[in-house]
Amino acid sequence: SRRHSSKAERAHSTMMNSDMDAVEAENQVELEEKTRLINQVLELQHTLEDLSARVDAVKEENLKLKSENQVLGQYIENLMSASSVFQTTDTKSKRK
């Protein structure tokens, strides 16, 4: 009888160890998945930060270029108004 209960105890112990191993393996898989997701979130955050910085730099460059274009436009306008080539002339009235 003692031998029989010992076999039953060992079988029960083996089943419990097997169940615990399965739970441990499942926990390990969950932990790895959580770690992978956390790393993915961190990578996406860094990408977003980089893109935000790039957008800010492009906005700044755009404002600078707009300002330069205004200066160049005014300069060209001044040159055109000072040049006789772009003046409207009435050649018929000068000949008379």
Name the average pLDDT for the chain: 86
**pLDDT score of 92 more than 70:** no
pLDDT of 10 over the 70 cut: yes
Q: How many CB atoms lie within 10 A of CB 10?
A: 10
Whole-structure pTM value = 0.53
- 86 in Cβ contact with 80 (< 8 Å): yes
Task: For 39-77, write each residue's pLDDT tens digit.
Answer: 999 999 999 999 999 999 999 999 999 999 999 999 999
Question: What is the pLDDT at residue 2?
Answer: 47
